[in-house]
A and B are shown apart, each in its own frame.
Chain A
Amino acid sequence: MLASTASRWLHTARLGIGEHYRIIQSNPLSRIGFRLIVVFLVIAAFAPWIAPHDPWEMVYDKDGQFASLRPPSWEFPLGTTHLGYDLFSQLVLAARTTLVIGAVSGIISILIGANIGLIAGYYGGKVDEVLMRLTDILYGMPFLPFIIVLIALFGRKLEFVILAIVLIIWRTSARVIRAQTISIKQRQFILAAKARGASDLRIIYRHILPNVLPLLLLYAAFNIAWSIITEASASFLGFGDGETISWGGMLYELWLSGKTRVAWWWFAAPSICIVLLVTSLVFVSRAYEEVANPRLRKR
């Protein structure tokens, strides 16, 4: 029974991938965004092979001089820091951390948000009341004091940065998915499923979920983008994981070094990468927005 259910899911998922590819390709902006994301993914996957140096290795130029605060050149394509670290190597390795944090917290937050939204929207009444008040409480939670307390309690670890991001980000997706669930559960095919004997859980996950999927993917992309921004802000303020390097963390190092006015290249590379990745995600989500909300489609 379980195996057959799994194989059916796989079957649907495979059919789904083609459809998603078509959705993304249908919009020129999302096509660009999708390609950029693929480029970032490739860079992150092969980061240790792409990066010419260790991120915390003091580098020397070919004349044997200590390469401190060098602007971009052939030897150091993105320049170096005041401690002589190669920025290109840092950037490439940081892509990995940033993407992992973005993907993990984006996906966990959409899973939490979608389930809470589906359950609150479908059952309504007291269940809805409790879950939505919980969401409201999180809406009142300011991010920075929250992450400061969390880091103060548990230390600067990647897991706790992700936890803090997830706890803050799921709330919007929960509300939106709930609203969509409420509108779908009133459609007659849900009544028909009930008449055929489908249980509540079956109705939620087999009948309603596929109908909120475009919206869910839209918010998944949003959540990933927000996670990346949030992680960058947290790292910039010094609440990132000290052991790993991320784009936000690179900016934090720049701030600490006090060379912000001098080393424009140090500032430029991670900022541009954050902007590019977040924009790509928003572009891709744009294509899903058109599926979720057909009125946006060009006529």
Chain B
Amino acid sequence: MALIELNQLTRHFEIRPGLVDRTVRGKPSRLIKAVESLNIAVGENEILGIAGESGCGKSTTCMMIAGLLPPTRGQIIYRGSDLATADAAVRKEHRRNVQMIFQDPYESLNPRFRVADIVAEGPRALRLWDQKEIGDRVESMLAGVGLNPGKYTERFPHELSGGERQRVGIASALVMQPVMIIADEPLSMLDVSIRAGILDLFRELQDQRGFSSVYVSHDLAILGNVADRLMVMYLGQAMEVGPVEQVIRSPKHPYTRALIGAVAVPDPRVKRPVPKISGDISRPIDPPPGCRFAPRCPYADDSCHDTFLELDTSDPTRHQAACHRLHVLPDEGL
């Protein structure tokens, strides 16, 4: 049984115009379709990478899985029970077992809390252990993320560097002994020079503790490094999913191909092929029913504009792309 399964998971946000616009000018409210019919399962001990540009619904998906945002439609199934209808005990277990690491280490730590209190907050809030044991576990957790407890427990977040803060963030999630970590771009706000250290720490802890993870990033190099499977999203829809090696080595979907083609190579002499896609990423406000990549896709035809092909998650190991036109695409490149 999968640990977390997303079934037709959808989240829309309503933008309501101001009172005057609504009543006098009769402007209708519009829908941002942030996440649309997402189907995916994450197994025990598995790391699912989610890739995509800004605004593609990665963070919204994370918030829903962590139970911080209710879905508009569809289900989040945690160990076989739908979170929306599950009883309080299951929800409490989910709350403890699915923990989140946030993107911004400067915003996600309470400025008035000391490091020890930040890390102890989860266990204290859920009363997991008695105070003494919480104290011991906090110390060993801090040591586990490479922060000397004697030196750091009494500090405030503003006395730490970005990398140290993110380590505190990781410690505060892992001290709960979760079975799943949702990491929403945990490296993107850090300097390139310390990313590797945090990434190594994440993988090392994953090896030791064996949690599964949803790892979100726009950086394919990082995802290729940590993830077992990769899902590529575009404007709220899943475009392609499969084992990470296969998706990166032989991408099927035109969007994935463009995305991988756009990865920078640190060699000024390498000439990169210019992707054939044009236009800018738009916003998913009142989008048409079909594939959201269709307006920019050089291979799109009428079927692409009319219907969207949903991915089938029955076989998690299968490499598949949500594209009507796979048969007309060239074997490689765009």
B122 at the interface (CB under 8 A from A): yes
The segment from A123-131, A133-141, A188-196, A277-285 that touches chain B is A188-196
A4 at the interface (CB under 8 A from B): yes
Could you mark each residue 118-158 of chain B with 1 if its beta carbon is under 8 Å from any beta carbon of chain A, else 0? Answer: 00011001100001000000000000000000000000000
How many whole Å from B194's CB to the nearest CB in chain A?
A: 20
User: Chain A contact residues: over half helix, strand or loop, or mixed?
Assistant: helix
Interface residues in B81-136 by Cβ distance below 8 A to A read: 92, 95-96, 99-100, 102, 104, 107-113, 121-122, 125-126, 131
**Bound CA–CA A194/B176 (angstroms):** 14
A207 touches B110 (CB 8 A): yes
The segment from A75-83, A145-153, A197-205 that touches chain B is A197-205
B10 at the interface (CB under 8 A from A): no
Provide the residues of chain B in CB contact with A189, threshold 8 Å: 107-111
Nearest A residue (CB) for B99 = A195
**Bound CA–CA A197/B172 (angstroms):** 12
A188 touches B172 (CB 8 A): no
A211 at the interface (CB under 8 A from B): yes
Interface residues in A160-215 by Cβ distance below 8 A to B read: 187-189, 191-199, 202, 207, 210-211, 213
How many whole Å from B142's CB to the nearest CB in chain A?
A: 16
B96 touches A197 (CB 8 A): yes
How many whole Å from A201's CB to the nearest CB in chain B?
A: 11
B1 at the interface (CB under 8 A from A): no
Provide the residues of chain A in CB contact with B104, threshold 8 Å: 188
A197 touches B110 (CB 8 A): no
Interface residues in B159-182 by Cβ distance below 8 A to A read: 169, 172-173, 176
Nearest A residue (CB) for B127 = A1
Q: A4-B131, A189-B107 are in contact. Are A195 and B121 (CB under 8 A)?
A: no
Provide the residues of chain B in CB contact with A4, threshold 8 Å: 131
B107 touches A195 (CB 8 A): no
Nearest A residue (CB) for B110 = A189
How many whole Å from B331's CB to the nearest CB in chain A?
A: 44
**Bound CA–CA A199/B169 (angstroms):** 19
**Bound CA–CA A188/B100 (angstroms):** 12
B112 touches A211 (CB 8 A): yes
B100 touches A195 (CB 8 A): yes
Provide the residues of chain B in CB contact with A211, threshold 8 Å: 110-112
Interface residues in A83-132 by Cβ distance below 8 A to B read: none
Interface residues in A27-53 by Cβ distance below 8 A to B read: none
> When A and B form their complex, what is the total count of cross-chain residue pairs whose Cβ atoms lie within 8 Å?
59
Say which size band chain B's interface belongs to: 20 to 34
**Bound CA–CA A191/B126 (angstroms):** 16
Provide the residues of chain A in CB contact with B311, threshold 8 Å: none
A194 touches B68 (CB 8 A): yes
**Bound CA–CA A207/B176 (angstroms):** 19
How many whole Å from B135's CB to the nearest CB in chain A?
A: 10
Provide the residues of chain A in CB contact with B102, threshold 8 Å: 188, 191-192
B66 at the interface (CB under 8 A from A): yes
How many whole Å from B91's CB to the nearest CB in chain A?
A: 10
Residue of A191, A202, A210, A213 near B125 (CB, 8 A) is: A202
B112 touches A199 (CB 8 A): no
**Bound CA–CA A187/B92 (angstroms):** 24
Nearest B residue (CB) for A211 = B112
Residue with the highest number of chain B CB atoms closer than 10 Å, among A4, A192, A199:
A192
Q: A4-B131, A188-B104, A198-B125 are in contact. Are A193 and B110 (CB under 8 A)?
A: yes
Provide the residues of chain A in CB contact with B126, threshold 8 Å: 196-197
B107 touches A196 (CB 8 A): no
Provide the residues of chain B in CB contact with A191, threshold 8 Å: 68, 102, 108
Q: A188-B102, A192-B102, A210-B112 are in contact. Are A197 and B107 (CB under 8 A)?
A: no
Chain B interface residues toward A at CB < 8 A: 66, 68, 92, 95-96, 99-100, 102, 104, 107-113, 121-122, 125-126, 131, 169, 172-173, 176
Please provide the 3 A-B residue pairs with the shortest distance between their CB atoms, ordered closest to farther: A196-B122, A210-B112, A188-B107
Pairs across A and B, CB under 8 Å, 30 listed: A4-B131, A188-B104, A188-B107, A188-B108, A189-B107, A189-B108, A189-B110, A189-B111, A191-B68, A192-B102, A192-B109, A192-B110, A192-B169, A194-B68, A195-B66, A195-B68, A195-B99, A195-B100, A196-B99, A196-B121, A196-B172, A197-B95, A197-B96, A197-B125, A197-B126, A197-B176, A198-B122, A210-B110, A211-B111, A211-B112
Q: A188-B108, A197-B125 are in contact. List 6 more A-B contacts (CB 8 A).
A: A189-B107, A189-B109, A189-B110, A192-B110, A196-B172, A197-B96
